[in-house]
Amino acid sequence: MSHTETEILTPSTTLAPEKHVLEPERSQLGFMRPDHSRSVIMDWLTTVDHKKIGIMYGAIALFFLLVGGVEALIIRTQLAIPENDLISAQRYNQLFTMHGTTMIFLAIMPLNAAFFNFLVPLQIGARDVAFPRINSFSLWAFVAGAIVINFGWVLQALQVMGLFEASGPTAGMTDLAPAMGWFGYAPLTGTNFTGAGTDFWIMGLQILGIASLSAAMNFVVTIVNMRAPGMKMMRMPVFTWMTLVVSLLIVFAFPAITIALGQLMFDRCFGTNFFVVAGGGQPILWQHLFWIFGHPEVYILVLPAMGIISEILPVFSKKPLFGYSIVVFSGAVIGFLGFAVWSHHMFTTGLGKVATAAFSLLTMAIAVPTGVKIFNWVGTLWGGRVRFSAPMIFSLGFVWMFMMGGFSGIMHSSAPADAQQQDSYFVIAHFHYVAIGGIFLAVVAGIYFWLPKMIGKMWKGNLSTWVAIFSTVGLNVTFFPMHFLGLLGMPRRTHTYLEGFGWETYNLVCTIGAYILAFGIFLLVVDIIRCFRKGEPAGNDPWDARTLEWATSSPPKVYNFAKTPIIPARDALWEDKYGPENRKVTYMDDHGHGIHMPSQSWMPFIAALGFIPVGLGMSLMQAGIPYMGYVAIFGLLVIGFGIALWAIEGPGGYHMHPEADAA
């Protein structure tokens, strides 16, 4: 910040141009605002900068990706040979439950959130998101939820060491980490079947839901309201479009799971009868409520991946995206149809012929917009000058692997076929092709594409090729045989299996594949660390890219754009570099007002931390630990206190006057 000057903006007046102070300002509470802190930790904990928040989302998500990966490796090792006894059946249940929960809610969703945070304001030419402090709150609430949901492992470890025994409502239950599957079907979640692990899962997911909802609302407002002049909706990069669609999906899909989890919590803690069969509750209700959320969730996971691919393919083909508007429209249609297909997860529950046929048809209909996207990506490549740089390799891998997952998906959409495949390894094969072959490869492509922008350093060497080879080979060796395993009748979620069903070879191959895939991910981590340590300066635009984020410096300055850009066309940077004169990006004159920056704040962090005592208190109360109800109430008070001070302290803010360099 050596070349910038910072001025204090007092809350009541507009600007005091004679002041050139770098001292923190007092908030309306009389506290010092944590701006310009010299302590690095304090700076990151209180930051409201969407770029720092994005990087933290990414780092935490990569950590949980590795945690979930280790859980998967233990599962695969257990299944390598018949009648293996590496882990107990109960531990196996806990591992597959937490593997699914971790990968979906703690790895992929926050990885997507990392890209949303870092990229969306840059891509639309904004200074930050619409509500920077809510953004900080979303991040820390996500961290609180992650801690709560994983705390069961700590309790489980204590129990194994003999230091803890559950009493109270779940006395005698030995599963203290979640063990009922990532979609928590009733009645298995009842107090007479599962222990405190289920409570950690309920409270953790509830907190993660609050984090997702607040982030999603923030992003809708940002994309609708914070666009730079000229950035019309149909000029926005496809990734930003997909962020908008996904955020709307979160806004309308998460309430269903929030209420379902609330009902389940009431069942377990306060004796209601929502899913308790003895009291007249219907377990099928849980399935409906869960999948009304759960199927949009699938698109919440995959649409950002499609957005990433739609950004990368044009850059490395030196062509605009083929059929931009139809790609955007298809994404929106996928999101919309995503609300109308939840029952295809429940074909075998006996919905009746009409409902089954309707959901079957709607599910098949989703193949149309998805196919449109695939053909548009192929159309983008067609006749382009294709460069096989790292992001491109992973993107091409995505198109192929995602399509394979899509094919088996179409097979499930036919209800009679699905009746055969339900709960078999065929389903596992399907959604891992979509999740790893689709989302994971796209996220890795995104990391290779945007990390130079995020940290300002360029990749060194071509380890990426080996990452691509090992992860793609690994995922195919792991999951392709699972199609056959499923058709041979191996049910999912089996702790072990007997010899003689013809499953032995396939399982061994799957396990070997899992280790190949794990090695590929290990290489990815090595490559990221190398990039951090030894990367050369990246420059603003290392890939000769098309969208606005590459117009900023690498890494972007805290204020993003020194002057607000005026966007004349789609692919703004490309037109600026190579387009006709009337399509160059121009910049608004700020008339010496400078850039208004929001103040940093402790309050979102404090409010979000309150979720930890709430979640742990409610769950540990169920495990029979005394006084935990009071801990939960204390947590609620912390949340209320944090939000109240947050409101009273006011947004604050100061002005910066950068030289017009970054533009």
Residues that bind other proteins (CB under 8 A): 12, 130-131, 213, 217-218, 220-221, 224-232, 251-256, 258-260, 262-263, 266, 270-274, 279-282, 285, 289, 566-568, 582-583, 586, 588, 644, 647
Are 233 and 331 in contact by the 8 Å Cβ rule? The answer is no
Minimum CB distance to other proteins, residue 324 (Å): 18
Our CB check for other proteins shows the closer of 389 and 547 to be: 547
Our CB check for other proteins shows the closer of 4 and 282 to be: 282
Structure tokens at 574: 């490309």
Distances (CA, A) of 588 to 236, 553, 556, 557, 594: 19, 18, 19, 18, 11
Question: What is the SS3 assignment for 203-244?
Answer: HHHHHHHHHHHHHHHHHHHHHHHCCCCCCCHHHCCHHHHHHH
Are 457 and 535 in contact by the 8 Å Cβ rule? The answer is yes
Our CB check for other proteins shows the closer of 220 and 475 to be: 220
Query: Reduced to 3 states, what is the DSSP secondary structure of residue 522?
Result: helix
CA distance 308 to 395: 9
CA distance 192 to 41: 45
Minimum CB distance to other proteins, residue 224 (Å): 6
Minimum CB distance to other proteins, residue 484 (Å): 40
Our CB check for other proteins shows the closer of 197 and 209 to be: 209
Is the bond preceding 187 in cis, omega lying within 30 degrees of 0?
yes
Q: Which residues contact 336 (CB under 8 A, 6 or more apart)?
A: none
CA distance 553 to 547: 13
Minimum CB distance to other proteins, residue 537 (Å): 33
Our CB check for other proteins shows the closer of 21 and 259 to be: 259
Our CB check for other proteins shows the closer of 270 and 627 to be: 270
Calculate the CA 263 to chain-centre distance. Answer: 25
Are 449 and 391 in contact by the 8 Å Cβ rule? The answer is yes
Q: Which residue has the tokens 């979620």?
A: 493
Minimum CB distance to other proteins, residue 328 (Å): 17
Our CB check for other proteins shows the closer of 255 and 456 to be: 255
CA distance 131 to 133: 6
Our CB check for other proteins shows the closer of 11 and 320 to be: 11
Minimum CB distance to other proteins, residue 566 (Å): 5
Q: Of the candidates 342, 206, 209, which has an alpha carbon nearest to the alpha carbon of residue 268?
A: 206
Our CB check for other proteins shows the closer of 130 and 538 to be: 130
Residue 56: how many other CB atoms lie within 10 Å: 21
Our CB check for other proteins shows the closer of 54 and 568 to be: 568
C-alpha atoms less than 13 angstroms from C-alpha of 285 in its C-beta half-sphere: 13
Calculate the CA 591 to chain-centre distance. Answer: 40
Our CB check for other proteins shows the closer of 530 and 583 to be: 583
Q: Which residues contact 251 (CB under 8 A, 6 or more apart)?
A: 213, 216, 217, 220
Our CB check for other proteins shows the closer of 273 and 414 to be: 273
Minimum CB distance to other proteins, residue 570 (Å): 13
CA distance 432 to 414: 19
Our CB check for other proteins shows the closer of 75 and 205 to be: 205
Minimum CB distance to other proteins, residue 213 (Å): 6
Minimum CB distance to other proteins, residue 273 (Å): 5
Are 569 and 583 in contact by the 8 Å Cβ rule? The answer is yes
Name the phi and psi angles at 498, rounded to 5: -85, 160
Minimum CB distance to other proteins, residue 11 (Å): 8
User: What is the CA angle 309-310-314, rounded to 5?
Assistant: 105
Q: Of the candidates 406, 416, 466, which has an alpha carbon nearest to the alpha carbon of residue 439?
A: 406
Our CB check for other proteins shows the closer of 86 and 569 to be: 569
Our CB check for other proteins shows the closer of 125 and 405 to be: 125
Minimum CB distance to other proteins, residue 226 (Å): 8
Minimum CB distance to other proteins, residue 285 (Å): 7
Are 658 and 4 in contact by the 8 Å Cβ rule? The answer is yes
Q: Which amino acid appears at position 490 of this protein?
A: M
CA distance 165 to 156: 9
Our CB check for other proteins shows the closer of 289 and 595 to be: 289
Is the bond preceding 555 in cis, omega lying within 30 degrees of 0?
yes
CA distance 628 to 618: 7
Q: Where are the alpha helices (DSSP H) in 46-169?
A: 50-79, 89-101, 109-123, 132-160
Distances (CA, A) of 311 to 123, 230, 241, 404, 449: 11, 20, 11, 21, 10
CA-based end-to-end distance of the chain: 16
Q: Which H or E run includes 317?
A: helix 283-317
Burial 73-97 (b: 16+ CB within 10 A, else e): bbbbebbbeeeeeebeeebbbbbbb
